[in-house]
């Protein structure tokens, strides 16, 4: 049972445009959400997170939006750069920012390609 889903396995965007990566979840107990970026042969690196008490969190070019009623979150990258080309995973946890039992549930990832 995939509790966190990323329905788009890949996304291609032109440099300078906006990249929008989507993520849906089914477990209503999730209250903290994270986005990770992964390059080939490297482990995922933390990018940005959002608590369920918020609907938006922004950090530079990266903004995460959360729609609790729809159980949907999205990551916006503006402007997109070639160096952003990577696999992006969304993840969710219960227990707020401290993560309760530390367990992260990951989506399947979206391969973003930013073209010149």
Partner 1 sequence: GAVVSQHPSWVICKSGTSVKIECRSLDFQATTMFWYRQFPKQSLMLMATSNEGSKATYEQGVEKDKFLINHASLTLSTLTVTSAHPEDSSFYICSARDHGRGRGIHEQYFGPGTRLTVT
Question: Which residues contact partner 1 by CB under 8 A?
Answer: 2, 4, 9, 32, 34, 36, 41-46, 49, 89, 93, 95, 97-99, 101-109
Decide: 114 and 14 in contact? Cβ < 8 Å: yes
Cα 77 to Cα 102: distance, rounded to the nearest angstrom: 27
Q: Cβ of residue 55: shortest distance to partner 1, in angstroms?
A: 19
Residue that is written with structure tokens 């986005």 in the block: 35
Q: Strand, coil or helix: what is 84?
A: helix
Nearer to partner 1, 43 or 69 (CB): 43
Nearer to partner 1, 10 or 12 (CB): 10
Nearer to partner 1, 57 or 74 (CB): 57
Q: What token pair was written down for 96? A: 């707020």
């Amino acid at each position: 049972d995939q509790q966190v889903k990323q329905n788009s396995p890949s996304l291609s965007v032109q440099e300078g445009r906006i990249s929008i990566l989507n993520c849906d979840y089914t477990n209503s107990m999730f209250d903290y959400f994270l986005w990770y970026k992964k390059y080939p042969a490297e482990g995922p690196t933390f990018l940005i997170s959002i608590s369920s008490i918020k609907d938006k969190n922004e950090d530079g070019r990266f903004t995460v939006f959360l729609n609790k009623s729809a159980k949907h979150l999205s990551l916006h990258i503006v402007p997109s750069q070639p160096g952003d080309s990577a696999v992006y995973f969304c993840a969710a946890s219960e227990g707020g920012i401290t993560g309760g039992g530390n367990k992260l549930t990951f989506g399947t990832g979206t391969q973003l390609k930013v073209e010149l």
